[in-house]
Each structure stands twice: as C-alpha cells, then as structure tokens.
Homo-oligomer: A and B are copies of this chain.
C-alpha cells in the first residue's frame, strides 16, 4: 500500500495538477480531499503534509493558472510590435489555454471558489484587472502608432477584447465543448479588428 515518498515540492505540483484535472472533469464543487488524494495515489491525511488546508490547495491551483496566463501575455508581446497582430496572437493563445485546461473555466465560472473567501475573490479580480491593463497597454500603444483609432478609450476596448473570449468560453463550457470557441473567436476577431483599425473615418 505505502506510497513512494516524495519531496513536498514535487507533491505540491502533483496535487495542484490533480486538482485542476478533477475540477476539469467534475467541477469545483466535486473536488474533495478524498478524491484528490486518491488521484495522487495518497491517503487523504497525507495531503496535509504538503498543504495546511483545502483552501491552500485551491489557492495554489489558482496561482498556477494565473502564472500561465500572464506568460501568454508576455510571450505575445515579445513576438511582435504590431499592436493589432499582438492582440490577435494573444486571443489565439488565450483560447488555446482555456481549451486545453477546461478546469480553468470551471474555476472562473464558479462561486464556491469565492463565496466566503473575499480575499481570494479580490486576488482573482486583481489578476483579471492586471491582464486587462496589459491588453489596454497594447491597445494604447497601437493608438499612439496610428494602428488603432483613437475614438475610444483603450480600457473600454480592452474589456471588449475580453468580450471576444468570455462568451465563447462560456458557451463552450455550458455546451460541454460543443460550441466551438476558437471558431467564434476567429470570426469575432475579424469584426473587432476592422472596428479597431477601420473606424478612422471620424
């Protein structure tokens, strides 16, 4: 029975990954210490060698996701200096990230994760806000260089950019993947980018 002994660091990684996997399959509310331990090949109480509580596991899992998301932004920004192109790449990588990690959707579209944990909710909001600020910065950059029209506020456009992804992700989530988020994102991008660049008739 006895499971192999591994360092806490390794176990923490295994555990957060297992958590994300379980969440992807069944939703956040179906995540229990028992199932989690079972998936890692441990006994429930063993989890407490590596995390103080279930909340800590969730926090770590979320932090893990946030990092990956921000990496996306950074790499897109380094790839090109054309703001419009950059946004297009960011859109694609964002959709892809979500497609490969369905657990992200379950977490974002969850409330059991936040209710009764104002601090976590706040942290998540700040993460999203930080992401939007990055997007707004890219847009503002495009406006300065004349690639994007200046009629609209960069921040409004940033939220609209999120609006290209979120409903698609939501529909994909609700339809269990039947709705093709990538396809919609691509179609919507055509409209939106025309909007960004084309409205220079003022």
What is A's interface to B at a CB cutoff of 8 Å? 26-30, 106, 108-112, 114-116, 121, 124-125, 128-129, 151-153, 156-157, 159-160, 162-164, 166-168, 170-171, 174-176, 184, 187-188, 190-192, 194-195, 198-199, 201
> Nearest Cβ in chain B — how far from A72, in angstroms?
17
Contacts of A114 in B (CB 8 A): 27, 174
Q: Choose among B115, B159, B168, B191 the residue that contacts A29 (Cβ–Cβ < 8 A).
A: B115
Contacts of A184 in B (CB 8 A): 156, 159
Contacts of A124 in B (CB 8 A): 174
- Kindly state the separation between the CA atoms of A114 and B109 in the bound complex, as whole angstroms: 11
- Kindly state the separation between the CA atoms of A128 and B160 in the bound complex, as whole angstroms: 20
Contacts of A201 in B (CB 8 A): 198, 201
Contacts of A171 in B (CB 8 A): 125, 128-129, 159
> Nearest Cβ in chain B — how far from A196, in angstroms?
9
Contacts of A26 in B (CB 8 A): 115-116
- Kindly state the separation between the CA atoms of A184 and B124 in the bound complex, as whole angstroms: 20
- Kindly state the separation between the CA atoms of A129 and B167 in the bound complex, as whole angstroms: 11
Chain B residue with Cβ nearest A157? B191
Q: CB distance A167 to B163 under 8 Å?
A: yes
Contacts of A106 in B (CB 8 A): 111, 115
> Nearest Cβ in chain B — how far from A25, in angstroms?
10
Q: Choose among B27, B151, B164 the residue that contacts A163 (Cβ–Cβ < 8 A).
A: B164
- Kindly state the separation between the CA atoms of A199 and B115 in the bound complex, as whole angstroms: 43
> Nearest Cβ in chain B — how far from A109, in angstroms?
5
> Nearest Cβ in chain B — how far from A164, in angstroms?
6
- Kindly state the separation between the CA atoms of A30 and B116 in the bound complex, as whole angstroms: 8
